[in-house]
Amino acid sequence: MPSVYIKTYGCQMNERDSEAVAAQLVAKGYSLAPNEHAADVVLLNTCSVRDNAEQKAINKMENLVGKLRKSRPSVVLGFMGCMAQSRGKQLIDQLPDVDLVLGTQKFHRAADYVNELLAGTRRKIVDTEEETGSEATIKEHLLLGTAKEKQVTAFVSIMQGCNQYCTFCIVPYTRGEERSRTIADIVDECRSLVERGVREVTLLGQIVTSYGKRDIKLKDGKSAFVQLLDAVHEIDGLERIRFTSPHPKGYGDDLVEAYARLPKLCESAHIPLQSGSDRLLKIMHRGYTTERFLTIVEKLRKARPNIGITTDIIVGFPGETEEDFEQTLSLGRQVRFDNSYIFKYSPRKDTPAAAMPDQTPQVILEERNQRLLTLINEIAAEKYNQLVGQTVQILVEGPSRKNEARYMGRTRCNRIVLFDGGERHRGHLMDVKITRTGSFTLYGDPAILNLD
Ligand code: 5AD
């Protein structure tokens, strides 16, 4: 039985795509290799959002070619996902040992192509075509583990693509136009996950707040996305709902109200800000002002006072002045994000920003990155420290990855809590008292021990 190893770069959408490809291969009789060394097939699921994510995957492939190809000439090596989509055959021209280049609308063809390559009926396969209906093909789950080791949380892909065309972003080119699955299809998938032990789902898409915009009409003032949240919320046995990534412009009053109305919807929101300068937001083609962003945060905090708000910020967008950057710092101080992901601007192929004058010099990128990171981390640490002594609800996912003796759960605000637990806690919602904090980790003591 051939074995496959998949390495994933980038976002949760990529993790989900890798899981679906792995599930598909397992269904065809493949086993999953724990690492690349013994695998018959090695697939790299790639990210194109910044240049260094692409370089990492290319370096890894060069390394695999050097290590594996010589000792095992029959190994199948492939790129899939965003970089495969944007670079296509060029990847094989650059790395002739690569056998497969599989685009973002073709994940469901992975097993067929790998079979053909292993059997030797084809020597190279590049498939980066568009495919109608491909948004509904990412639905198989691995749900690893025995009945005793149930998977507690799962990602569910609800849509593909993005039509926002932010001037810095490659995603509309790698993921294509927005296409959404139907509410019934998504609910069916969530329901079957719950039947198999899942307690929390994260609804995924490149711009989830635009879900179903073209196909599903407003109903009682509710957008398609909120109608989907309502429908998923109905599922018995499902305890928690999350989603990512939204766009700030999608936080209409119907979504804010959904936070107030739907108890399963976790009080956690990742709202990508990108910049605190209105001038830059406009050039970025973001479609909101800082004032609008602040109003959304205020409304969400009113609806759910404990909501955890995280964001993405780009430093050094072309033409970013010191004044623009200081406005970002100032907005960071004003909002007090629970955490932020900071990205140094990276010019991307075919995006308008890559051709803009005044690209920011590397030293300034580094310097602004450091200054923003210091501020963001300081605020995040204060927020973490405020939790010490408080009792929070966690959903226990399983043993901690770093230390198997500890168990790990997440708070509703999506913070990781470690505690001395056991298998009996897996899948349970439990209250823990936070005793201390580590860097982006909380340590807790179970407040209730009656779960046996
Ligand atoms: N350079 C740097 N960061 C980027 N992002 C998207 N495109 C770029 C780019 N060209 C960041 C944005 C987005 C996150 C996923 O990646 O902040 O929200």
CA of 439 to the centre of ligand 1 (A): 24
Residue 101 CA to residue 117 CA, distance in Å, equals 12
Is residue 346 in contact with ligand 1, taking CB distance under 6 Å?
yes
| Mean pLDDT over the full length of the chain | 95
Answer whether residue 438 shows pLDDT above 90: no
User: Atom 2 of ligand 1 has which residue's CA nearest to it?
Assistant: 345
Lookup: tokens for 98: 């690569």
Lookup: tokens for 1: 């039985």
**Residues 437/384, Cβ–Cβ less than 8 Å:** yes
The residue among 337, 292, 285 whose CA lies nearest residue 313 is 337
Quick: pLDDT tens for 253-306. Answer: 999 999 999 999 999 999 999 999 999 999 999 999 999 999 999 999 999 999
Quick: pLDDT tens for 97-152. Answer: 999 999 999 999 999 999 999 999 999 999 999 999 999 999 999 875 555 567 99
Helix, strand, coil shares, percent, the chain, to 5: 40, 20, 40
CA of 165 to the centre of ligand 1 (A): 12
The residue among 82, 87, 88 whose CA lies nearest residue 104 is 82
* Predicted model pTM: 0.96
- CA 249 to chain CA centroid, nearest Å: 19
CA of 345 to the centre of ligand 1 (A): 7
- Amino acid (1-letter code) at residue 265: L
Quick: pLDDT tens for 192-216. Answer: 999 999 999 999 999 999 999 999 9
Residue 23 CA to residue 30 CA, distance in Å, equals 9
Residue 150 CA to residue 190 CA, distance in Å, equals 15
CA of 375 to the centre of ligand 1 (A): 20
Residue 395's region, left for phi above 0, alpha for psi from -120 to 50, else beta, is: beta
pLDDT of residue 143: 73
Answer whether residue 339 shows pLDDT above 50: yes
